[in-house]
Amino acid sequence: MRKKLVVGNWKMNLTRSEASATIESLLLMIEPTTEIEVAICPTYLTIETVGQLFKRTHFKVGAQDVFWMNSGAFTGNVSAPMLKDVGCHFCIVGHSETRGRFGKLDIPESTIPYFSETDETVNLKIKSLLYHSIHPILCCGETLAEREAGQTDEVIQAQLKGALSGIEGAEFHDGVVAYEPVWAIGTGKTCDTAEAGRVCTMIRKALVEILDESAAASIRILYGGSVKGSNAGELFAQPDIDGGLVGGASLVAEDFSKIIQSA
């Protein structure tokens, strides 16, 4: 039986003092339990702050990205050993925003090439995380244009194959996959529950082919994209949705606690 997992992706939000206040409020609202897993992926600068507050709780801390080399002349990047050193348990990789695929564009379109993540770099990052015993949260999802063209399954399968190339099922046995339709991220739009469930079932079947049946059965598949307290219960009830990767709602303790309770 796969344990439900709810992950908050804070993106580029909250200072250390704001992070502390949010976590302290959240811990007052959620009773300790081992029935589900909860994690927060804050900015690099607040990972240690959040991790300290999570000590002696069932909550875990993660990161939003990683660089695949352990060290070197890679200005501005952070490696897996560094994340391990500050207590990271999870790390998001391949998020649509690092790929330059935005549901809601808040930057000049001319700057999109700055975000240049590829399946190859995602693959390198996953291998580094696995080597250092950090659980990857592999993101995949289609744009609105791809969905309207009937390419949802094709696009996601290609992302999975590229990201997991050369990785054995046993290595990714405890990994996580997050389905985030790009057009639902930060837009307030949510994928229809039945369709979200269908896509997550398709992902699990694809993982059988890419990895193996045992790994596919154990990997937790999350849904992300405007998850809220009002829709989380219905989404999490789908047989192949094992929790959520939550953006904006994870920044508000009361909102995030409702999603956790839904799980």
Query: Which is catalytic among the residues 89, 95, 132, 135?
Result: 95
Q: Is the pLDDT of residue 32 over 80?
A: no
Burial (CB count within 10 angstroms: exposed 0-12, middle 13-18, buried 19+), residue 32: exposed
Walk me through the domains of the chain, giving residue ranges and CATH numbers.
Answer: 5-262 (3.20.20.70)
pTM: 0.97
95 belongs to the catalytic site: yes
Instruction: Give, to the nearest 10 degrees, the angle between helix 152-163 and helix 193-210.
Output: 40
Per-residue pLDDT at 212: 98
Query: Which is catalytic among the residues 97, 142, 146, 180?
Result: 180
- pLDDT, tens digit, 9 for 90 and up, residues 80-134: 999 999 999 999 999 999 999 998 899 999 999 999 999 999 999 999 999 999 9
Per-residue pLDDT at 206: 98
Q: Is the pLDDT of residue 187 over 90?
A: no
Instruction: Give, to the nearest 10 degrees, the angle between helix 229-236 and helix 253-262.
Output: 20
Q: In whole angstroms, what is the distance from residue 253 CA to residue 25 CA? A: 6
Q: pLDDT-derived band of residue 161, with 50, 70 and 90 as boundaries?
A: very high
The number of angstroms, rounded, from the C-alpha of 229 to the middle of its chain's C-alpha atoms is 18
Q: In whole angstroms, what is the distance from residue 129 CA to residue 159 CA? A: 18
Q: pLDDT-derived band of residue 230, with 50, 70 and 90 as boundaries?
A: very high
**Burial state string for 164-184 with b = 16 or more CB within 10 A and e = fewer than 16:** beebebebbeebbbbbbbbbb
Per-residue pLDDT at 51: 97
Q: Is the pLDDT of residue 34 over 90?
A: no
Per-residue pLDDT at 186: 78
With beta carbons less than 8 A apart as the criterion, state whether 179 and 140 touch: yes
List phi, psi (to 5°) of 130: -60, -40
Per-residue pLDDT at 1: 82
Q: Name the E strands within 167-246.
A: 176-179, 220-224, 243-246
Q: Is the pLDDT of residue 150 over 90?
A: yes
173 belongs to the catalytic site: no
Sequence-distant (≥ 6) Cβ neighbours of residue 167 within 8 angstroms? 123, 126, 127, 130, 211
Q: Is the pLDDT of residue 36 over 80?
A: yes
Q: What's the half-sphere exposure (Cβ side, CA atoms, 13 Å) at 182?
A: 24
Q: Is the pLDDT of residue 181 over 80?
A: yes
Q: pLDDT-derived band of residue 261, with 50, 70 and 90 as boundaries?
A: very high
Chain position carrying tokens 């580029």: 12
Question: CA distances (Å), 131 to each of 48, 98, 118, in order?
Answer: 22, 22, 20
Question: CA distances (Å), 145 to each of 96, 141, 149, 155, 189, in order?
Answer: 14, 12, 6, 11, 15
